[in-house]
Amino acid sequence: MRRTALTLIMLLAVFAAHAQTFYELQFTHPLDGKKYLGLLTYFSDERCKMRLVRADEGAKGKVWESDYTKTTDPWSKEQAMGMMYYRPKDARSMPMLLWYWRDFRGEDMSPEPQICYDELNQSDFFNATSFKEIQLSNLTAAYLGKFYQTNETDYKALLAAAKKAGAQNQTEVTGKGANTPTLRLLMVANTEVNDIGIACQQDIKNVTNEFRNIARVLEIPYEQTIVSETAFSKSNVAKAVEDFKPGKDDIAVFVYSGHGFRFQDQKDYFPCIDLSPTAYDKAVENYATMTDIYNAITQKGARLNIVLSDCCNTKVGYEAPAVSVNTLFSRASRSLDTDKLRNLFLGQGGNVWATAASPGEASWCSVKGGFFLLSFIESLRYQISSLTEEKPSWEGLINLAIDEARKKTNGNGVPQEQNGVKQVRTKSIK
């Protein structure tokens, strides 16, 4: 089945090399009285970096830089507190960033972190004065000059990406030709079930927003069909798949969010999806295999097929315990490279197929959606970032999504990490 990890996904992000979201940090050190300015770059919890300078000297003075990793202490009623740390790998010269909250929903968490250079001495903790998001297009030469010398590689890359982002924001939509492909999304989500319904509802929002915006940026038509709420049933899903008719030049996307399982003697690595309309209906009588759905979608002949399922792949009847963990998910992607996006969706043909968990594994979710689908969107944004050096590919994207979902469930209080399964067969087209 699909398991819920009731997480507090904070409306914060800090960053990394090849990042997608940028933040500016300001604080005054209580010992030397000097003001410091930090530029943080974030892609994921495992890829974060901060560059730090004295505000009055900038890059002309001493410059510090370190990669960061995230650690979270789960919220508990006993402690009446949740804590989230970003620890620098260079702990000798860079500060640790700390957020904490007492409300389970995290509504009392300050947007500014606390700062400390010695986490064992809490009396030395002090508050940052400012923590705000900076859009890529606003990273001007003057702004970047506070943190970098003009001959540094990162300075040149960031400035070029910022200029490109600014130019893309000014692009006007042109007319559509007769052979313009359509991005067609069919999404199935079990939003009515008590345990994971809220996560499935959020998955709908996350996925539809993502693909709708992709179509908008690519200036191609977008159509979506959602099977959820009271319409969620085996017969309605079967009819929706039958009625799903992409053209030969189209991009066909199928996404499932809900419970999943596998039979005791099942050889297929991909799961069955539980299409029971209520908890009182038997899953073994109301299911479809993802292999059958994949075959049905790909046989319709679209140029590019993307088939994703975020569900458990455990043996039928298995129940995993619910746990409480914390994680971060980047709020925004400000470093879009439309050429990379166009290459992925319009310059590639073939089939992309992936599911959240390997046979015998649970798939985890939170109130902000399934870890696999969150990781897919996160990885997609990384692939199309102006700051990502490698050439985007569906193979690389899915590999990264599976790895990011695994990291979200590794050492976060989850009993068992999830390792997705994939099959990617794509090629470039003219």
Tokens of 302: 């679209």
User: Which pLDDT does position 173 carry in this prediction?
Assistant: 35
Tokens of 359: 């046979």
Mark the ranges of the chain whose per-residue pLDDT is less than 50: 1, 3-19, 75, 77, 167-175, 321-334
User: Which pLDDT does position 174 carry in this prediction?
Assistant: 36
Q: What domains appear along the chain, each with residue ranges and CATH number?
A: 8-169 (no CATH), 179-428 (3.40.50.1460)
272 has which bridge partners? 261, 289
User: Which pLDDT does position 352 carry in this prediction?
Assistant: 97
Please choose, from the candidates 208, 296, 313, 308, the residue with its C-alpha nearest in 3D space to the C-alpha of residue 254: 308
Asked if residues 23 and 14 have their Cβ atoms less than 8 Å apart, the reply is: yes
pLDDT digits (tens, 9 = 90+) for 172-221: 333 355 578 999 999 999 988 877 888 899 899 999 999 998 998 899 99
Question: Which CA distances in Å does 110 have to 29, 30, 97?
Answer: 19, 20, 12
Whether the full predicted model's pTM is greater than 0.75, yes or no, is no
Which parts of 121-260 fold into alpha helices (H)?
Answer: 141-144, 153-169, 197-218, 234-243
User: Which pLDDT does position 92 carry in this prediction?
Assistant: 83
Question: Which CA distances in Å does 183 have to 221, 254, 393?
Answer: 6, 11, 18
User: Which pLDDT does position 282 carry in this prediction?
Assistant: 84
Please choose, from the candidates 28, 86, 131, the residue with its C-alpha nearest in 3D space to the C-alpha of residue 327: 86
pLDDT digits (tens, 9 = 90+) for 63-97: 999 998 877 665 454 555 677 788 898 888 899 99
Name every residue whose Cβ is closer than 8 Å to that of residue 41 and which is 6 or more positions away in sequence. 15, 16, 17, 19, 21, 22, 48, 49, 50
